[in-house]
Structure 1
Amino acid sequence: MSIRPVLETRPAHPTLEGAGVKLHRAFGFQDPTELDPFLLFDDFRNDRPEDFAKGFPWHPHRGIETITYVLSGSVTHEDSLGNTGALGAGDVQWMTAGSGIMHQEMPTASATGQMHGFQLWGNLPAAQKMTDPRYQDVQAKEIPHVIDDDGTLVKIIVGSFWGKTGPVDGIAADPQYLDVTIPAGVRKTLPIDTYRRAFAYVFEGAGAFVDAARPTGVLLEKEVLGQELNIRDMSGNRTLVRFGSGDEITVQAGPEGVRFLLITGAPIQEPVAWHGPIVMNTRDELKTAMQDLRNGTFIKAAH
């Protein structure tokens, strides 16, 4: 077994999207090879309804898939195919934009005034760029979870883990999307497929991810006085952790525990031509998509 080295840790940066929604972006609109097959990851979390109430009005997508995971509040959506619905706390939606879709997403606060969720963009390979659009809406009660003997809780949104398989399927990136909670002070090793790109996103508590490039003793010191573990190199709230190759990660939870998303996917390794919510393989394909938008031919008939 080999521990994946930590290539980088970096904070998510505040940005504005949609009609002025304040959110934090962990990555996106930079180097598309960095976390191939994933293109963008946003953390939309806010306690002020005025900072998100205007939402994400009608906009196009082509050539990608998006996964929306709601923790608090709700997100209503509708699209150019006539679909409507709402995602509540714990619910997930995977949208395959394929050949093209117009949709809008409007967040609503919970009873306590909070809104929190994530959106991840996955690229589509050339052979599936123009596939028919589709949705997979999954309620929280349908998402399996596993609790280990040490109290570690893993929700399996996509992929298989510890003998259970998430309900979302047929995704081009063949991803694994896990919501992991590790109790305070617990040190945990989690397996990862060797051939996948992988990242973690810490959003509650803090933890130290063991780096294979350094001895594990560098991360932990035991103080004789107080008998407490002092943890260096902690990754805390809104931190992206990008891993190198290997078949497992090890994390030491901090004094309040740690909760993070662990996401992996098979690299597509194809050229990327990208303009906002439209991602194709060539500049000519991108120009065609923009012409379709102007001409009113962006939405294609079912194949």
Structure 2
Amino acid sequence: MPARQVKQLIRAIDTSDGAGVKLRRSLGQSAGARLDPLLMLDEFYSDEPADYLAGFPSHPHRGFETVTYILDGHMLHEDHLGNKGDLKSGGVQWMRAGRGIIHSEMPQQNQGRMRGFQLWINLPATEKMQAPWYRDLPADQIPHYPTPHGGEIKLIAGELTLANKLLSGALTQHEGKTLSTAPIYADLRLAAGETLQLATPAHHNAVIYVYEGEATIGSKLVPEAHAAVLGEGDTLELSARQGAVQALFIAGRPINEPIVQYGPFVMNSSEEIEQTLQDYRDGRLALP
């Protein structure tokens, strides 16, 4: 198959969420800006405490997974089941909301930089009502792989092939079971002038989000704070022609099911959303 090319560029837009945390949203800014099974990608980034201190107070989820990756800062996750997780610089939390979670994500700093990403990944209908689970991955548990020309790949989940070598992420399975969307989540760091060639699963949908610098994919320039939705192919060629580049590569096996979203709830039909809202009102959303 050919190398993947850019099908669509999505410029991240400024918005806010939670109790007023300022962020930039690329995937998920509209229903047409999703990429099955990827629902939403937010970047939060500020040195100004007023932009993030209010955090994300207690709120519900059902029907999908969230992946929170912190580049700089410290946040505390707590949920209605009594789970707690410290997210510090370089760490990741992978959370399957399943049938229901009520949780909060609150900054544990009152100054300095807070920077990171939150990704939402859809679940197939057969898994939307499963029990929730978590995996906290501190920075020292996430493998780093050097690239041939001075860059680095931090592989959070899934598998990629670089120079005929299979790279394995920190999270490829959970409790012995393969994740149904077979997600790949990598933080790519390219040195100035470097071109990185990766083999990727041909039948995954994939996106590149450039968060530092400008990258080139084929003949297409991908500016900073843009998501590049990639076309079909089984390889990716990413170049840092104008200086060093930092970008996320995220991919997943498409589910090909209807999506009905109402805020923090993602189901397959309007009837299921109505039931979810009723469950939340009646206190049944997140029962064990």
Place the TM-score, normalised by the shorter chain, in its bin: over 0.9
Question: Relative to 1, partners in 2 of residues 1:125 and 1:116: Cα closer, same or farther, differing over 3 Å?
Answer: same
Whichever residue aligns with residue 207 of structure 1, its letter is A
1:180 corresponds to which letter in structure 2?
L
Q: Deviation at 1:109?
A: 4.5
| 2:38 counterpart of 1:35 | no
Q: Which residue of 2 aligns with 1:182?
A: 190
Q: Which structure 2 residues correspond to residues 78-93 of structure 1 after superposition, within 5 A?
A: 78-93=78-93
Whole-angstrom CA distance in 1 between matches of 2:110 and 2:141: 21
The 3-state SS of whatever aligns with 1:285 is: helix
Between 1:62-71 and 1:150-159, the stretch displaced more is: 150-159
Larger mean Cα displacement after TM superposition, 66-75 or 33-42: 33-42
Quote how far apart the aligned CAs of 1:107 are: 2.4
Q: Which moved more, 1:85-94 or 1:247-256?
A: 247-256
Q: Give unmatched runs, 5+ long, in structure 1.
A: 211-218, 220-232
Contact 1:126 1:281 (C-alpha < 8 Å) held by counterparts: yes
Q: Which residue of 1 aligns with 2:203?
A: 195
Alignment of 1:4-153 (within 5 A): 4-28=4-28, 30-31=30-31, 34-109=34-109, 113-153=112-152
* TM-superposed deviation, 1:251: 1.8
Counterparts of residues 235-246 of structure 1 (less than 5 Å): 235-246=222-233
Give 2:215's aligned amino acid: G
Q: Aligned equivalents of 2:287 and 2:143: distance in 1? A: 35
Distance 2:222 2:125 in 1: 36
Are residues 297 and 32 of structure 1, via their aligned partners in 2, closer, same or farther at CA, if it must alter by over 3 Å?
farther
Matched, 1:290 2:277: yes
The match for 1:213 is none
Q: Are residues 103 and 258 of structure 1, via their aligned partners in 2, closer, same or farther at CA, if it must alter by over 3 Å?
A: same
Please report how far the alpha carbon of residue 166 of structure 1 lies from its aligned counterpart in structure 2 after TM superposition.
1.6
CA shift for structure 1 position 19: 0.4
- Aligned in 2, Cα 1:23/1:298: closer, same or farther, shift over 3 Å? same
Give 1:110 shift. 8.2
Give me the whole-angstrom Cα distance separating, in 1, the residues matched to 2:105 and 2:44. Answer: 12
Quote the Cα distance in structure 1 between the aligned partners of 2:254 and 2:215: 27
d(CA) in 2 for partners of 1:42, 1:165: 25
- The answer to whether residue 216 in structure 2 is matched with residue 208 in structure 1 is yes
Give the count of matched residue pairs.
279
TM-score (norm 2): 0.93
User: Contact (CA 8 Å) 1:72, 1:88: kept in 2 or not?
Assistant: yes
Q: Is the counterpart of residue 158 in structure 1 residue 138 in structure 2? A: no
SS in 1 for 2:154: strand
Task: Work out which of the residue numbers 281, 284, 289 in structure 1 matches 2:268.
Answer: 281
CA distance in 2, matches of 1:99, 1:32: 25
- CA shift for structure 1 position 276: 0.5
SS of residue in 2 equivalent to 1:149: coil
SS of match in other structure, 1:256: coil
Q: Which amino acid aligns with 1:199?
A: V
Determine the structure 2 residue equivalent to 1:263: 250
Deviations 1:149-182 (A, max 9, x none): 2112111100122423222224332101011011
Contact 1:201 1:261 in 2 (8 A): yes
Distance 2:110 2:245 in 1: 23
Alpha-carbon distance, 1:131 to partner: 0.3
Distance 1:29 1:128 in 2: 25
Contact 1:32-1:39 at 8 Å conserved across structures: no
How much does 1:284 deviate? 0.9
- What letter corresponds to residue 43 of structure 1 in structure 2? E
The alpha carbon displacement at 1:34 in A equals 4.1
Partners in 2 of 1:2 and 1:32 — Cα distance?
A: 25
State percent identity of aligned pairs. 41
